[in-house]
Structures are given as C-alpha cells and as structure tokens.
Amino acid sequence: MRTTFTQAAIFSGLFFLCTPRPVAAQLIVTDSLSEADIVQLLEGMNLSISNVEVNCQGMAMGHFAGDSELGMLEGLVLTTGSADALAGNALMFANGLVNTAGDDDLSMDAGVMTYDACVLEFDCIPYGDTLLFNFSFGSEEYPEFVGSSFNDIFAIYLSGPGFTVPYNAAQLPDGTPVAINNVNDMANSNFYFDNVMGQQVAYDGFTVNLTAFAEVVPDETYHFKVAIADAGDMVFDSGVFLEAFSFRSVVQTTGLDEPARPAISVAQCGDMVRVHLPAVRPGAELRVYDAMGRTVERVAVTGPEVSFGIAELPIGAYTVHLLNGTDVAPVRFVRQ
C-alpha cells in the first residue's frame, strides 16, 4: 500500500546527506498558458517552433520562474498532477489525483499501465545540424519508492528525418533512459539531487539539469512529443522540466576543410541597427536573441539591408541570425 500524507511527511525527515543548492527567492508557478506563451518559452536560438498541441488535464502544465533547488530560473513543467503543487518545501505533498488516462507510448515503454498523462507536442525546424535542449525530471516518488513498480515514466520523443522510429532524447550521456529506478541516490547518483530538505520545490528528488543532443538535417521539420505519466497507480506526482529558451540549434564543425561562411555585418547609429546581408532568398527572417537565448526581435527580410530600432532593448549583448536565408555566420552587437 502507498504511504499516506502523514507517513510521507515522516519519511521526508530520513534524508540522504547532501549540499543544498543556494536558494534566494520563492518559486512562482503559473498554470494558464497560451500557445504563444509556450512557443516563446521553448524557442531558443537558430530554430523555429510551431503547431503546439497540449493534452494535459486542468492545471497539470505550467510556467515556473524563480531561484530554487532546481537550478533552472525559468521554464515549462509538465506534471502528472498539479503544476501549482510544485511550489513549496519538501514537507508538502504533491499528490494531484486527476483521474485521467495514461499514454499508450509510455505504457508500452514502462511495461505497466500508466495514468494521468500530460503530453506536449510541437514541430521544430532547426537551422543547424545539431539540436540541443535542457531538461530535468523530478518526483514525489523519491526516495521511498525507488526500485518499486511505481516507476513514473516520461519521455521526450523526437521523430523526423534520420529517425526511423521515434527516439527518446531523455537519456543520460551513456544512453540510459531517465527514470526513478535509473537515477537515484544509489544508481547514477551523480545525476541525482536529493531534495528531502528542499525549501522551494515540493518534490523530494530530481535529476540535475541534463542536456539532450541529436544530430538533425538543417531546414527539415522534426516533431517532439514530451509526455509524462504515473506508472502503476494514480498517486504521487512527477514532473518534467524544460528550461526556458534552451531549445537551440548549432552547426557542429566537422573538419578542417569546412569552408568559411560569409558573415552578416552590423552597423550601429544611435538607437538604430543596420544589418547588411551577403545574400537573401524569399521568406528569410532576421532574428535577434539576447544573452539568455530569448528572441527579442523578428524582422522580415526583403532586401540586402535591414534596419531596426533598439531603444526598447535592455543594455547588453545581442546576437543576430539570418533564418531561411543562405548559410551565414551570426554576428553580435551591444546595446549600451
């Protein structure tokens, strides 16, 4: 039988010795998000995201922000219960009984029936040959139910050119799928953070921040399915965290003979930036990112020169990319 709330609070006092992460402010969770909000939070440098579809019950998905033991300042969280229950100290009990169906793909991977699934799907077009994003997985099942059948499951399925079957990108560097029974204080413990003394996050444990990596074909469309579900029963919440603006695409250098790419040139005059482009094709877009990888400006390209104002931008460094144009190197400018 599963532990009750009172028993879970007692278990929380039996903790694995660890060094707590510094915490400065309360974690804030918002559970009402539009498609535009989701795209804005997901989309980092050198790619585009579209066709967002959410299949989560009630308040299971949310936006989180603030310093916490997670080590992520902002992002999206998908849970098997309530995203709001995430914010609080580890003595609290995240146990949202939403009583909904599981996910067929997760049930097949888990080998048991799943429940309370929360699924986010979207399309992504990378403009480089490598896709990366940052994620973490946490659960109220930690640490009491490590090794049990209550092995709540999640996956980040990637499909598209180069993948004959959907590929679960939620893996450790050695290819081990991230799950409660695979990452804990005994197995792969270097990727685990014991949070039973946590002050900002209710889950009693979660992984360190992990970076997923996949080789892709530039300018092709890839599909992501981020899914999480309870395994074995409907109680004790788990959550997958996607760090804001961390979905990004880069060009990996593959050899010394790789030709140099032409560069964008930037000239600043007061609060105006003028960008000269070596070549343009129909449908090109100029995109400006801040130091966190957030898109702060989008400009349709209609000719070899593009100008835009920066008076509303905060002081700092910015990167200019040309999307759907020729393969040109990005360039930076500074708003002083």
Assign residue 308 the CATH number of its domain.
2.60.40.1220
Q: CA torsion 298→299→301→304, rounded to 10°?
A: -110
Token readout for 33 is 């998000």
Looking at the structure of the chain, the number of domains it has is 2
Has residue 29 been placed in a domain?
yes
Q: Are residues 133 and 202 in the same domain?
A: yes
pLDDT exceeds 60 at position 170: yes
How high is the pLDDT of residue 17?
30
Q: Which two tokens stand for residue 175?
A: 């290819």
Per-residue pLDDT band for 100 (boundaries 50, 70, 90) equals confident
| Whether residue 14 has pLDDT greater than 70 | no
Q: What value does the mean pLDDT take over residues 286-312?
A: 82
Q: Is the pLDDT of residue 33 over 70?
A: yes
Does a structural domain hold residue 259? no
Classify residue 85: in a domain, yes or no. Answer: yes
166 and 213 part of one domain: yes
**pLDDT value, residue 175:** 84
Contact 249, 216 (CB under 8 A): yes
From 187, 222, 250, give the residue that closes a domain: 250
Asked whether residue 255 is assigned to any structural domain, the reply reads: no
3-state helix, strand, coil in the chain (%, to 5): 10, 40, 50
Query: What is the mean pLDDT of the segment spanning 115-140?
Result: 92
Confidence at 10, pLDDT banded by 50, 70, 90: very low
Q: Are residues 286 and 145 in the same domain?
A: no
- The residues, ordered by sequence, that sit 6+ positions from 257 with a Cβ below 8 Å of its Cβ are none
Closest-CA residue to 193 (of 155, 241, 247, 132): 241
Q: Which of 250, 283, 306 is the last residue of a domain?
A: 250
Domain assignment of residue 64, yes or no = yes
Provide the residue range defining the domain that includes 46: 5-250
Token output for 208: 């360190």
With 80 as the cut, is the pLDDT of residue 23 above it?
Answer: no
**Are 249 and 145 contacting, i.e. CB atoms less than 8 angstroms apart?**
no
For residues 156 and 243, state if they share a domain. Answer: yes
- The verdict on residue 257 lying in a domain is no
pLDDT at res. 111: 82
Same domain, 163 and 287: no
**Whether residue 171 is found in the same domain as residue 291:** no
pLDDT at residue 256 in the model:
36
Residues 189-216 have a mean pLDDT of 92
Identify the pLDDT of residue 13.
28
Q: What is the mean pLDDT of the chain?
A: 81
Q: Is residue 258 part of a domain?
A: no
Q: Residue 32: CB partners within 8 Å, gap ≥ 6?
A: none
Domain boundary among 250, 279, 297: 250
Write down the pLDDT at residue 178: 86
Provide the pLDDT for residue 147. 76
Q: Are residue 176 and residue 227 in the same domain, yes or no?
A: yes
What is the amino acid identity at position 89?
N
Question: Residue 252: exposed, middle, or buried by beta-carbon count in 10 A (0-12, 13-18, 19+)?
Answer: exposed
**Whole-number pLDDT of residue 226:** 96
Tell me, yes or no, whether 155 and 229 share the same domain: yes
Question: Is the same domain home to 214 and 283?
Answer: no
Residue 123 sits in the same domain as residue 244:
yes
| Single-letter amino acid code for the residue at 165 | V
For the chain, the C-alpha Rg in angstroms (whole number) is 22
Do 97 and 213 reside in the same domain of the chain?
A: yes
Q: Verify that 310 and 163 share a domain, yes or no.
A: no
225 located within any domain: yes
3-state SS, residue 182: coil
Q: Is 267 helix (H, G, I), strand (E, B) or coil?
A: strand
Token digits for 26? 């309360």
In a 13 Å sphere around the CA of 69, the CA atoms on its Cβ side amount to: 26
